[in-house]
Structure 1
Amino acid sequence: MDVLSLGGLFLAVFALLGGSILKGSGLGALWNVAAFVIVIVGTISAAMIQWRMQAFLRALKMFRWVLREPEMDRSGAIEKLVGWSQVARKEGLLGLERSSEEEPDAFLRKGLQLLVDGTEPDMIRNILHVEIDTLEDYDTLGAKVYESMGIYAPTLGIIGAVLGLIAVMQNLADPSKLGHGIAAAFTATIYGIASANLFFLPVGHKLKATVAAGSKYREMLVEGLASIAQGENPRSIEVKLNGYVSGG
């Protein structure tokens, strides 16, 4: 569980609710069904129009990474790679066939199979880097879905405020409704700006960082697999790969 992200979400809610109370508006001032429909539903609909189904669904699946990042045990992976390099030096690359069948990670399993098949180191790098780039592009689209909603939300907040003010103008003859109507109109602006800056944009940037970290992790795996194919000393492989851990 990502405690920092979870804490950030709670603080975002607290900032809005607490700020409304401290300003004397109360919690009721923040709830307006019309503003919610215009801003939140409108933002989601705009994203649905912009993005293809595949990217939109990927964005929904990726949201869990905000609170729990994909498992990337660098130290454990290095230990595996060093162990496989020792097996390869003693038994040859065919000695890794059993490991390739039992490896749960699909990316590593594919790399091990390439090793067992006797693929050249440069070819291993080329094949696996294509997969890294493809996966990175796919996941980056998911992150951009949230960023796009962060762009649409403030504008829809303004639209909601304008629509609310139009309703106020229609009731100028009744001064008792003016104050409440103006307050309700500006609630839409709060929804738009707050959702963009406290949710959509931070989520999009967090997911982009997670995607980049995943690509870096897989690059480390590729380097380890290629080093095994080159017959490098296990100790040299370990020292080389530890550079990825120290680099974050």
Structure 2
Amino acid sequence: MMKQASLPNGVRLAYTDAGSGEPILLVHGFCGSSAYWQKVIPALAERFRVIAPDLRGHGGSSAPDEPYTMERMAEDLVHLLDALEVERAALLGHSLGGYVTLAFAERHADRLTGFGLIHSTAYPDDEQGRANRDKGMESIRQNGMEPFVKALVPKLFAPDSAAARPDDVRLAREIGLGTDPKGAIHTLQGMRDRPDRRHVLQETRLPVLLVAGEQDQIVSPAKTFTADGPHVRQVLLSKAGHMGMLEVPDDLTEAIGQFMRSF
């Protein structure tokens, strides 16, 4: 059941809150929502408190007409933890959620027990990536969400699994179409302008989880595995594209559980 939190900055965030124990904050990707995590939350909630918000401009959350920098979206999550009286949590972000996670870890490491990237990267957009963000913004301005989401969703899944997973593809499309167009445009701009945050992974003293899909067409494993060391746990999901939480939920749940038990 979705809940609502009204934040001090005027943003209203929808979120789910399940289970009890050490808190985990799961943050979805672009044109996603907390529903992305529906296959992993029940198992995780048997051992942990799992909080999954809809980011601003996505799902059931409000879509203020202002810049959506990764830093500003991270502040939304700080306010959410405050509203839920959660002092520290493990923060795991998928794709866009990973960019927000890195901004959070850079500024608010004291609020974290650990953090991770799931099908995400600490690299900034390259020149082609920034151009693609601009094209996406223009497409949504001109034609709305439907053509954009229709083109995006097939790329999210492993090439040989999309046809075999029509229900998951349909779910991703429905969630994407629920994204506020204004929110999507602001988010594309924020992703385009985000900085390089590889140093956050290298310099942190917190435990780090890096999860990549072997068949990811959006973020290659090489772009995810940009840090190594005793504080970093790397997990490669062999049968996954960009949507491990839907494609191989049991494997992802196990990876998260092992990470949580490591500290």
- What TM-score does the superposition give when structure 2 sets the normalisation length? 0.21
Q: Indicate the structure with greater strand content.
A: 2
- The structure showing larger relative contact order (alpha-carbon pairs under 8 Å, at least 6 residues apart) is 1
- What TM-score does the superposition give when structure 1 sets the normalisation length? 0.22
Q: Indicate the structure with greater helix content.
A: 1
